[in-house]
Structure 1
Amino acid sequence: MSEGFGAKVPADVERPDRVLAGLTARQVAILAATAATVYGQWWVIGRVVPLIVFAVLAGPLVVAGIALAVGRRDGVAVFDLARAALAFRMRARRLHTRPPGTGPAAPGWARERAHYSRYPCGRTGQLRLPPHAITDTPHHPAPLACLDLGTSGVAVIAAASTVNFSMRTDTEQYALIGCFARLLHAQTGPVQILIRTHQIDLRPALAELADSLGRLPHPTLRAAATAHHRWLSELATDTTLLTHQVLLVLREPTHLHTTQPGFTGAVGSGRRVAAVTRLAQRLDDARRTLAGAEITLTPLSPEQAHAVLATCADPTRDPTHGWTHSWEHTP
């Protein structure tokens, strides 16, 4: 691509607005609270203790307030780091997929070791994954999986093909960038582009090849196909084959304040149906837009979405074995 093409993007696109003296509203609130606390301490004890003693007592509070307000580490505000550390400390450390009391109990030696361990494991809790159910989208020509995210809305997943960008001419590269820009500008809701690495399952290809061996007309062709089948079998056994997959995830919030999962509930069912309809329209618009860049967008069926979520949660698990005890799969 020619050197004349370029665009300036801010380093922090989510930086909040400055409201006073180059400070954000949160920074002003922290500094104001710190100043009010120090003034309150001076009003209470400032008249009965020497000034140097009050400075020693109030100094750590002032330093902590300034650090929380304007301090940054590795590009992240100290306030955000402190909030994340506090949230991590308060939440459960060990999560399980079964409700308490429904699964098999741990062996006695394990419970005894955990009780007398020098390093306590912390609180335990139930693992609650975002998808509550995977359903088929009605009134859609192709099978389309719709993920019920509860109060976070609904989402659909589509697999996108790839194109070679570096081997295109400048004009073609401009066209590809323009197509991608139109896709981003056309989005009316949250969107995620996920590039993941997963293992290749050669068993379907091997089964199809083995089934076609007897139908080949010439012995030489059958021998070549048999040798190729043997080579693929050895490759699948001795080597871990990896590939990349590009997924486009579209989400539509429902602004529904309910904890009941699924699409069949009476509360908010109309909003969910409307959100699913908007998702299907957004997916069709994205498919038509990416077609101009020679990118094929294929919506995932409920079975395919179930396998993708299972392998994302446990990459070492065989996706053909399904996934249970994590979310409900509604066919």
Structure 2
Amino acid sequence: MSDQDEGLTAKIPADVEQPDKILYGLTARQVAILAVTGLVATWGYMALGDRLPFPLVAALLLPVVGGGAVLALARHDGMSLDRYLLAALVHLRSPKERVSAPEGVQPPPVWCRVRGRLPDPLRLPVRAVREDGVLELADGGTAAIVRAGTVAFGLRTAAEQAALVAAFGRWLNSLEAPAQILVRARPVDLSSIVAQVNEAAPRLADPALEQAARDHAAYLAELEASQELLTREVLVVLRDAAYEQRPATWGRSRKVLRDAGAAVVVRRAEEAVRALGVLGVSARLLDATACAEVLASSLAPADIRPPEMAGPGDVITARGGGS
């Protein structure tokens, strides 16, 4: 086919894990909700039909039928209404205040009266970040993060787009463990770039170049102050799922299992980097420092980045002024 011809396309739903339709385009959960609603309406009609007038019975049962239909068929933000209401109920009943307490929150003494609920311990999914950048998860598994770039897909020809989709599909089909692709928008901080340009401007050979550099720094500062700048970040999280099949009765220690899982996810991350490189996507496996920054920015996107962490062999010193 020529470059001007449109390549073969196939529609793929955004939710690849959506449940199967079993009856008239309805899922098993929707059919169950409608069946229960019908049984309740039938029981109500049989119980009240001989005692009350039909218009009054219909007025009593119509909200039940309408509520069941809305609960089964309506959607909110792409989520079925029953799941949305269940998630809202879980959110309302879950504690809103959590503190870092690995040993658990101790109850107050008997003589102390506490108003409200005590905060619950904060349970993060990541237990630790290894030196090689592998994340040790709280459930015993391991994961690795790959930061990937993007490609100008819309500027490619139809044949190039079809080749990119085919290559990306081959990589997805080669995955034998869970993988998560996260695309997020992050605010851009240009203050460090502005400071670097202003610092380097006096060292330029020509005064005109120095003035141009300062004007460019002023433009960047004005742009940051007047606009909300965002950058797109693509993260590929690969994890080791083999720990789920490892019995707890094995004689091997947890450290040995974590080391084996870390080696597996590192190998899979390197394979992902090579596969994405074939697509023209620049990708790299994040080290420990970059992983810590990603986790910190995920928990608090609006805060500044944490300071650089000391390595295992670095000497930590503190210098304070005397009084």
- In 2, the alpha carbon distance for the partners of 1:152 and 1:36 equals 45
Q: Distance in 2 between matches of 1:229 and 1:16?
A: 57
Task: Give deviations 1:44-71, integer Å, cap 9, x for gaps.
Answer: x448723535444333223222222233
1:315 aligns with 2:301: yes
SS in 2 for 1:197: strand
Is contact 1:197–1:244 with CA below 8 Å preserved after alignment? Answer: yes
Partner in structure 2 of residue 184 of structure 1: 172
Structure 1 equivalent of residue 112 of structure 2: none
Amino acid at match of 1:158: V
- Deviation of 1:125 after TM superposition, in Å, equals 4.8
Which residue number in structure 1 is paired with residue 271 of structure 2?
Answer: 285
User: Aligned ranges for residues 103-118 of structure 1 at < 5 Å?
Assistant: none
Is contact 1:20-1:28 (8 Å) kept?
yes
Identity of aligned residues (%): 27
8 Å CA contact retained: 1:153, 1:256: no
Q: Which runs of 5+ in 1 are unaligned?
A: 103-114, 116-120, 138-144, 215-219, 258-265, 324-328
Asked whether the 8 Å contact 2:135–2:143 carries over to 1, the reply is: yes
Give the partner amino acid of 2:179: P
Q: Compared with structure 1, are the counterparts of its residues 153 and 223 closer, same or farther at alpha carbon in structure 2 (3 Å cutoff)?
A: farther
1:306 deviates by 0.8
Per the TM alignment, residue 37 of structure 1 is displaced from its structure 2 partner at its CA by 3.4
Structure 2 vs 1, CA of residues 286 and 174 (structure 1 numbering), >3 Å: closer, same or farther?
same
Tell me what 2:317 maps to.
Answer: none
In structure 2, the CA distance between the partners of 1:56 and 1:285, relative to structure 1 (3 Å rule), is same
Q: What TM-score, normalized to structure 1?
A: 0.66
Tell me how far 1:300 sits from its aligned partner. Answer: 0.9
Q: Which has the higher contact order (CA 8 A, sep 6+)?
A: 1
Matched letter for residue 302 of structure 1 = A
Deviation at 1:319, TM superposition (A): 1.4
Residue deviations 1:83-128, cap 9 Å, x none?
2332233233x434445979xxxxxxxxxxxx9xxxxx99965554
Would you say the 8 A contact 1:308–1:319 is kept in 2? Answer: no
Aligned to 1:197: 186
1:278-302 per-residue CA deviation (whole Å, 9 max, x = no partner) reads 3222212112212223333211111
| Counterpart in the other structure of 1:29 | 32
1:151 corresponding residue in structure 2: 139
Matched residues in 2 for 1:268 and 1:256: separation?
A: 14
- Equivalent residue runs for 1:43-122 within 5 Å: 45-46=47-48, 49-50=51-52, 52=54, 53-72=56-75, 75-92=78-95, 94-99=96-101
Q: Tell me whether 1:134 sits opposite 2:118 in the alignment.
A: no
CA distance in 1, matches of 2:26, 2:231: 46
Q: CA deviation at 1:321?
A: 2.5
Name the counterpart of 1:140. Answer: none
Closer, same or farther in 2 for the Cα pair 1:236/1:73, shift >3 Å? closer
Is contact 2:197-2:213 (8 Å) kept? no
Alpha-carbon RMSD:
4.4
CA separation of 1:122 and 1:62: change in aligned 2, threshold 3 A = farther
- 1:198-229 C-alpha deviation (Å, 9 max, x unpaired): 42466499679969x98xxxxx6387886687
Distance 1:123 1:267 in 2: 36
Tell me the number of residue pairs that the alignment of Structure 1 and Structure 2 aligns: 288
The separation in 1 between residues aligned to 2:33 and 2:25, in whole angstroms, is 14
Letter in 2 for 1:95: E
Aligned-partner Cα distance in 1 for 2:156–2:221: 37
> Which sections of structure 2, spanning at least 5 residues, go unmatched?
107-114, 247-251, 313-323
1:221 equivalent in structure 2? 205
- Report if the CA contact (8 A) 2:238-2:265 is conserved: yes
**TM-score (structure 2 length as normaliser):** 0.67
Give, in whole Å, the separation in 2 of the partners of 1:255 and 1:321: 35
